[in-house]
Amino acid sequence: MVLPIVGYGDPVLRKVGEEIEENDPHIKELIKNMWDTMYNANGVGLAAPQVGKSLRLFIVDASTFEEDEPELANFKKVFINPIILEETGKEWPYNEGCLSVPGIREDIDRKPVITIEYYNEKWELLEETYTGMAARIIQHEYDHIEGKLFTDLLPPLKKKLLKPRLDKIVKGDVKIHYRMRFFNRK
Ligand code: NI
């Protein structure tokens, strides 16, 4: 089932997500709905707060970057209760967007290598290291479960220039091709 994606300005996007209890009976359905919602919006990642659930859960499908990084051909993963253990390397910029912040894309600097511990859908505890686009998407989604958005990482002047457009999103005054829910829609 496609769920409405929560837009910039909703307080749920600012909360630190709660840990999920092992074998929580509702998680399976939530994950399925999140896949439906993400693909419906042509996204490459989606975090639970973006569908109104303040939980430490996100999904990533990086297969669309297969052309540049062939090892991503089958990269489709669920991250439950993740903890980024380490981020290393020299920061690199990439033009990021977010399904909760429609119409805005900005260059964001992030470190290229991450090590993350998480549970997969089968509740197996894994520790893995990622680089390139996989690391980038995971960092973006991880920020969501920490109550952060990519626009927070911009320099102060850029943030100031962006504010009128962000204010429009809070009010739902944006064109979008997928289902969204806005905090302050008139
Ligand atoms: Ni996002």
End-to-end CA distance of the chain: 26
160 belongs to a structural domain: yes
Rounded CA separation 129/36 (Å): 27
Total domains, the chain? 1
Tokens of 52: 């109104």
* Centre of ligand 1 from the C-alpha of residue 89, in Å: 23
38 belongs to a structural domain: yes
* Centre of ligand 1 from the C-alpha of residue 26, in Å: 23
Tokens of 139: 């960092």
pLDDT digits (tens, 9 = 90+) for 87-144: 999 999 999 999 999 999 999 999 999 999 999 999 999 999 999 999 999 999 999 9
pLDDT at 185: 74
183 belongs to a structural domain: no
**Ligand 1 ion: nearby residues, β-carbon < 5 Å:** 98
Whether residue 141 lies in the annotated active site? yes
30 belongs to a structural domain: yes
* Centre of ligand 1 from the C-alpha of residue 44, in Å: 9
pLDDT digits (tens, 9 = 90+) for 5-29: 999 999 999 999 999 999 899 999 9
34 belongs to a structural domain: yes
* Centre of ligand 1 from the C-alpha of residue 146, in Å: 12
Question: Of residues 87, 117, 141, 146, which has the active-site annotation?
Answer: 141
Are the C-beta atoms of residues 158 and 106 closer than 8 Å to each other?
A: yes
DSSP lists the bridge partners of residue 186 as none
Residue 25 CB neighbour total at 10 angstroms: 7
Domain range for 166 = 5-174
179 belongs to a structural domain: no
88 belongs to a structural domain: yes
Q: What is the CATH number of the domain that holds 66?
A: 3.90.45.10
Q: Which residues contact 41 (CB under 8 A, 6 or more apart)?
A: 5, 99, 177, 178
180 belongs to a structural domain: no
pLDDT digits (tens, 9 = 90+) for 41-60: 999 999 999 999 999 999 99
